[in-house]
Chain A
Amino acid sequence: NAGVTQTPKFRVLKTGQSMTLLCAQDMNHEYMYWYRQDPGMGLRLIHYSVGEGTTAKGEVPDGYNVSRLKKQNFLLGLESAAPSQTSVYFCASSYGVNSNQPQHFGDGTRLSIL
């Protein structure tokens, strides 16, 4: 049982380049989340999804887009990367916020924008 898998694990981009981060979960979870983690700021929610075909903005959505075409996958896109987007990105999934079950996290993607 792989849980939550993020690819890639590391990436270096130049300002203005685009890329997509992939999150896959095999636990049949309804909810999926993308967070960024910056020093001293904990985990901040970028976008989330409450089910296949749905997405919603979190606390810091600007500069990012997401898609949830399949229940098991949640993609995070950066259309034109900026140095301020240098961060560690974590994907998570859960059964649903009303179930009170905790979130399961991937191992993170370390992204550097030069």
Chain B
Amino acid sequence: ILNVEQSPQSLHVQEGDSTNFTCSFPSSNFYALHWYRWETAKSPEALFVMTLNGDEKKKGRISATLNTKEGYSYLYIKGSQPEDSATYLCASRDNYGQNFVFGPGTRLSVLP
């Protein structure tokens, strides 16, 4: 089973701060990576689908980059707001697997 790791496990930032966190996955036979945002008491919602090395995706103040050669993806949040507080999940799949494997998530708290 693919091993997908995320760091840090949790993060507290002040409103207005910019922040980033990491998703690590095996670089061999990479197929695709997904990022999800998961608010408390809600279901995970997709943020980005990333497939190519060097991919950069952006949605408002949130952006993500992908490095498939070294096996990591960064998620950046610029000017964090309290409504950004959520758990951010990544999920990766390789060419041999039928399913995406989820990381344990990074729990972000933005303090007003």
Contact = CB atoms under 8 A, between A and B. Distances in A.
B38 to A, nearest CB: 9
Interface size class on chain B is 20 to 34
Nearest to A4: B43
A42 B89 contact: yes
Given A107-B42, A108-B43, A97 B100 contact: yes
Contacts of B100: 97, 103
Nearest to B51: A100
A41 B43 CA distance: 16
Contacts of B51: 100
Contacts of A35: 102
B26 interface: no
B42 A43 contact: no
